[in-house]
Amino acid sequence: MDILPEGDKVSVIGEEDNWYKILYNDEIAYVYADYIESAENETTEKTENSNTPESVLAFAKNYLGVPYVYGGTTPGGFDCSGFVQYVYANFGINLPRVTYDQMNVGVPVSCDSLQVGDLLFFRGGGHVGIYAGNGTYIHAPRTGRTVSIDPLNRDVYCARRIL
């Protein structure tokens, strides 16, 4: 358990009961709601297009080259489902932590109607990535690799549309 210095700014990316899920120094943590207050005179401007599939993909591309880390959920290292969860959390969409649970979120999509931002599941649900268009997807592949965009050259088990 750590103590944050008073006045430090954090990004709130989720809320459950009286706890805030926050992003602080590229790490996800939880803080009791009584200890968080909104920054005065700060506004976040949301555009109508802020939660578009294209903006999700653009945000995901910021993490190209981040190493795969089993169980990783931060820019210090991601596993496949941690990467997808982190990307969508930036847009206020709280996905479950593990691939098998992420498979049940959103709307089923057939492989012939994929759109940028759709979640793609492989190996019976053992791997997940985000469709990047033109027959490619962005994902955190496996130990020894980094977040990358690769061609869809294997069977998609199922696909889900979140946006």
- The tens digit of pLDDT for each residue in 83-100 reads 999 999 999 899 999 999
DSSP string, 91-147: TT----SSHHHHTTSSEEE-GGG--TT-EEEEGGGTEEEEEEETTEEEE--STT-BS
pLDDT of res. 49:
44
What are the sequence ranges of the domains in the chain? 1-44, 53-161
- Contact in structure between 59 and 18 (CB atoms under 8 Å): no
pLDDT digits (tens, 9 = 90+) for 38-61: 654 444 444 344 789 999 999 999
- Give me the CATH topology for the region 53-161: endopeptidase fold (from Nostoc punctiforme) (3.90.1720)
Catalytic residues: 80, 127, 139
- HSE at residue 14, side-chain half, CA atoms within 13 A, is 16
Residues of the chain with pLDDT under 70: 1, 10-15, 23-28, 38-49
Please tell me the predicted confidence (pLDDT) of residue 41.
Answer: 43
So what's the pLDDT on residue 26?
A: 55
Which pairing describes strands 158-161 and 148-151: parallel, antiparallel, or unpaired? Answer: unpaired
